[in-house]
Amino acid sequence: MSENFKSGFVSFIGMPNAGKSTLYNHLLGEALAIVNPKAQTTRHRILGVKNGPNHQVIYSDTPGVLYKTSYKMHEKMMGFVNESMVDSDVLVLLIDIEGKVFSEELKEKFTRSKAKKIVALNKIDLSQQHQLEAKLVEIKKEFEADIYLPISAEHGFNIDEMEKYIMDFLPIHPAYFPEDQLTDKSERFFVNEIIRNQLLKLYSEEIPYACEVVTLSFKEAPKIIRINAEIIVERDSQKPIIIGKGGAKIKQLGTDARANLEKFFDKQVHLELFVKVRDDWRNNDNMLKQFGYNND
């Protein structure tokens, strides 16, 4: 490894629906983070490792910042955001050009961070030139950063430019992960995420937010992966909604999830889904720890 080898952690932070997961997937070159127009899609901090000839970048997707934490799960989610602002070498603050303003608390934490800072104004393809110019003036007054960059994560505009700045900002450091490691998460984690994304797409209102997915078994053979997974709900009344009349809804969920799992793993998948009630799991510390919300 060269003495000029660079390696570091780059975290994306921002309000819900700012486009963090889209940007993360684009820069990483892998669709590790689920992307969905509904708020609070990302619940965990997901590390993705990208290796180059003389560098290793560890990208970090994080949950959207919440003004109000209604459940202990939300507190854990915000814990992941706070972690990223403390231990990252580069922070990318993503702002939706038409999105919500940030809390003063987040602004202070962003300012105090010792990381190199990029403020990216996203979704500029949805704005007029005068709106873009006015917004850039506004955010330069609100946030202290090393670079301010208008981008479109969905269309790839200025993403190469952002990557150049990230490479410049990375410290000289040996690689943190083996060259063949793509992420810190397990296969079961991505099974859970893919099924949960289909829950977000298929069910409305509060139902998908009250759900968690747990992979009970993951057995891989040469030609097929056999998966048993459990959908956790927090009230008895939610179970029949997930199942649907005559089991139609959960059958559709299984069909959609299996198709996405086969695409992700590039292999045939046999998927069985079950529904289990765990009362008020979003406020239960032991269950949250069991489901991977660990940032104590």
The pLDDT assigned to 122 comes to 92
Global pTM value:
0.92
Q: Is the pLDDT of residue 66 over 90?
A: no
The pLDDT assigned to 67 comes to 78
Query: What would the mean pLDDT of 59-74 be, rounded to a whole number?
Result: 91
Query: What would the mean pLDDT of 113-142 be, rounded to a whole number?
Result: 89
Q: For residue 15, what pLDDT band results from cuts at 50, 70 and 90? A: confident
Q: Are 279 and 232 in contact (CB under 8 A)?
A: no
Q: For residue 62, what pLDDT band results from cuts at 50, 70 and 90? A: very high
Q: For residue 69, what pLDDT band results from cuts at 50, 70 and 90? A: confident
The pLDDT assigned to 165 comes to 97
- Cα distance between residue 257 and residue 249, in whole Å: 12
Q: What is the pLDDT of residues 142-191, one digit of tens each?
A: 889 999 999 999 999 999 999 999 999 999 999 999 999 999 999 999 99
- Cα distance between residue 176 and residue 87, in whole Å: 13
The pLDDT assigned to 1 comes to 62
- Tell me how many degrees the CA angle 225-226-228 measures, rounded to the nearest 5: 140
Q: Are 273 and 194 in contact (CB under 8 A)?
A: no
How many beta carbons lie within 10 A of that of residue 215, not counting itself?
17
Domains of the chain: 6-169 (3.40.50.300), 187-290 (3.30.300.20)
Q: What is the pLDDT of residues 16-30, one digit of tens each?
A: 888 999 999 999 998
Q: Is the pLDDT of residue 108 over 90?
A: no
Tokens found for residue 127 = 């704005």
Q: Is the pLDDT of residue 236 over 70?
A: yes
User: Which range (5-9, 45-49, 95-99) has the least confidence?
Assistant: 95-99
Q: Are 165 and 147 in contact (CB under 8 A)?
A: yes
